[in-house]
């Protein structure tokens, strides 16, 4: 009796051991962020003897040396896990199948991952966004004017601790100029210069002598002076509506030598009986701001926010997709390497593309392990292993019997 009677059961035991290892790995990583579960698939092991074919009937005889089974592991890369909120400013979940974060290790090797759990790490005075293994997240750095670079680099968190004031360039005021009872009215508007955090610009309406519904407008600036054609003549109609001009172009000249031009919209001002009063004042300037926090937004942009409600773009996360992403080479349950079998890559999120519900900030994608399926698979694998073990035992008893007969 040949020893080959043991081979099928031995291969069965090895294959089921592989399957149990896969089940165990999945269950162990049930709480691992971005983990992609694996399935164990089985295939018949074919021998080397060729198939014999009948030239008359065209039928082929079965292979006589088919023996055993083999197992291989397939990762469920395209199966998305549940998205869970974390509240962490640097966590971000991918809401889609064919998109991966790009990560570089200390040797410059590139990996791809769905695990969006990031934190900061400082090296040589520079702070980077990294995953739990210390691999650096890749993206597109932002220039001072907010334009993102076209090439990938480590995302470094660089931002000014303080940003200067934003000079006022446009302002609007809605107010009433009393039709009678007063000869002048003053209206205050807060404006900002290049080097200050807000000063009062007083707009003074004075009745034009000898003219009806006409006012001369002048300005007084705290900390500077205003250049314009003064006095400016403003005309209302008999119904109290402003006729002209609707906009005033002013140049604010500050005592520190700086200046900024302001277009003041007064088109909604009125001249009714009653008291003078401002009902609405707005302008687009802002005071200087101190850094408050940095975070990743829904468009994948790392931003720094300031106390003056202004934000500065720092960098943009890169997301890469592949023609056949299921062929990525698994390095671990959360990291994958490029393979020629995946086909060409492309930017699912690049420097010039927008994220349409592709990213969910302050969240992570959980493991895609299905607990019920894994326990069901475990029972099946355990039973199959036991049956292969019984087959091996029976073959061993048959071999012992044959040996005893020869004696």
Q: Are residues 278 and 334 in the same domain?
A: no
Closest listed residue to residue 353, CA positions, set 312, 301, 309, 303? 301
Report yes or no on 163 lying in a domain: no
Q: Which of 189-203, 372-386, 391-405 has the lowest mean pLDDT?
A: 391-405
Is there a domain that residue 55 lies in?
no
Domain closes at, from 247, 262, 283: 283
Note whether 279 and 310 are same-domain residues: no
What pLDDT, on the 0 to 100 scale, is given for residue 46? Answer: 62
- Check residue 114 and give its pLDDT: 96
**Boundary-marking domain end, from 283, 308, 332:** 283
Residues 176 and 150 both lie in one domain: no
Whether residue 57 is contained in a domain is answered as no
Q: Quick check: 56 pLDDT over 80?
A: no
pLDDT at 48 over 60: no
Q: Are residues 98 and 71 in the same domain?
A: no
Are 179 and 267 contained in the same domain?
yes
Is 360 contained in some domain? no
Residues 179 and 278 in one domain: yes
pLDDT band at residue 65 under the 50/70/90 scheme: low
- Whether 386 shows a pLDDT value over 70: the answer reads yes
Q: Do residues 188 and 235 both lie within one domain?
A: yes
One domain for residues 179 and 271: yes
- Count Cβ atoms below 10 Å from residue 137 Cβ, excluding itself: 24
* pLDDT tens per residue, range 187-242: 999 999 999 999 999 999 999 999 999 999 999 999 999 987 556 999 999 999 99
Are 304 and 263 part of one and the same domain? no
Q: How confident is the model at residue 6 (pLDDT cuts 50, 70, 90)?
A: confident
Averaged pLDDT for residues 251-270: 96
pLDDT band at 36 (very low <50, low <70, confident <90, very high): very high
In a domain, 339, yes or no: yes
Q: What pLDDT, on the 0 to 100 scale, is given for residue 224?
A: 96
In this prediction, what percent of the chain has a pLDDT beyond 90? 72
Residue 355 structure tokens: 């994220």
- Asked whether residue 188 is domain-assigned, the answer is yes
pLDDT at 173 over 90: yes
Which pLDDT tens digit goes with each residue over 130-172?
999 999 999 999 998 889 999 999 999 999 999 999 999 999 9
Is residue 335 domain-resident?
Answer: yes
Question: Are 176 and 272 within one domain?
Answer: yes
What pLDDT score was predicted for residue 306?
95
Kindly state the percentage of the chain with pLDDT values over 70.
Answer: 92
Taking all residues of the chain, what is their mean pLDDT, rounded to a whole number?
A: 90
196-221 burial, b for 16+ CB within 10 Å, e for fewer? bebbebebebebbeeeebebbbbbeb
Higher-pLDDT residue of 278, 77: 77
DSSP per position, 28-97:
HTTT-TT---EEEEEEEPP-SPPPPB-TTT--BPPPTT---EEEEEEE-TTSPPPEEE---TT-EEE-SS
Q: Which pLDDT value is given to residue 61?
A: 54
**Residue 300 shares a structural domain with residue 152:** yes
Residues 189 and 260 in one domain: yes
State which of 260, 283, 306 marks the end of a domain: 283
Range of the domain at 279: 170-283
**Pick the residue with more confidence: 355 or 334?**
334
- pTM tops 0.85: no
Whether residue 165 lies inside any domain: the answer is no
pLDDT score at 49: 54
What CATH number should be reported for the domain holding residue 265? 2.60.98.20
Instruction: Indicate the number of domains in the chain.
Output: 3
Q: What is the pLDDT of residues 348-374, one digit of tens each?
A: 999 998 878 899 999 999 999 999 999
């Amino acid at each position: 009796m040949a020893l080959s009677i043991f081979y099928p059961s031995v291969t069965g035991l090895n294959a089921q051991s592989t399957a149990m290892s896969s089940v165990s790995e999945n269950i162990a990583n049930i709480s691992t962020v971005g983990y992609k579960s694996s399935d164990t698939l089985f295939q018949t092991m074919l021998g080397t003897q060729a198939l014999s074919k009948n030239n008359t009937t065209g039928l082929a005889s079965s292979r006589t040396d088919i023996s055993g089974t083999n197992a291989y592991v397939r990762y469920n890369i395209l199966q998305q896990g549940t998205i869970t909120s974390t509240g962490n400013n640097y966590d971000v979940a991918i809401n889609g199948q064919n998109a991966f974060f790009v990560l570089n290790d200390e040797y410059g090797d590139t990996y791809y991952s769905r695990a969006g759990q990031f934190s900061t790490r400082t090296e040589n005075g520079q702070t980077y966004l990294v995953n739990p293994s210390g691999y650096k997240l890749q993206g597109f750095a932002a220039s001072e004017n907010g334009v993102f670079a076209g090439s990938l680099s480590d995302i470094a968190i660089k931002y000014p601790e303080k940003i200067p004031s934003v000079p006022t360039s446009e302002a609007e005021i809605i107010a009433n100029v009393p039709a009678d009872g007063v000869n002048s009215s003053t209206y205050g508007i807060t404006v900002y210069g290049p080097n200050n955090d807000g000063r009062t610009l007083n707009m003074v309406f004075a009745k034009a002598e000898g003219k009806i519904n006409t006012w001369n407008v002048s300005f007084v600036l705290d900390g500077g002076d205003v250049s314009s054609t003064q006095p400016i003549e403003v005309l209302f109609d008999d119904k109290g509506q402003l006729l002209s001009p609707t906009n005033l172009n002013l140049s604010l000249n500050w005592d520190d030598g700086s200046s900024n031009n302001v277009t003041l919209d007064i088109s909604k001002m009125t001249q009714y009986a009653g008291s003078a009063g401002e009902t609405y004042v707005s302008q687009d300037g802002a005071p200087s701001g101190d850094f408050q926090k940095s975070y990743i937004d829904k468009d994948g942009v790392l931003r720094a926010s300031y106390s003056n409600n202004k934000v500065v773009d720092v960098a943009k996360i890169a997301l890469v997709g592949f023609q056949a992403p299921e062929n990525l080479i698994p390095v671990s349950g959360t990291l994958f390497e490029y393979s020629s079998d995946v086909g060409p890559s492309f930017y699912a999120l690049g420097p010039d593309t927008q994220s349409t519900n592709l990213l969910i900030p302050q969240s992570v994608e959980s493991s895609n392990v299905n607990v019920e399926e894994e326990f069901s698979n475990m029972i099946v694998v355990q039973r199959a292993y036991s049956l292969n073990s019984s087959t091996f035992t029976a073959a061993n008893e048959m071999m012992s019997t044959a040996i005893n007969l020869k004696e």
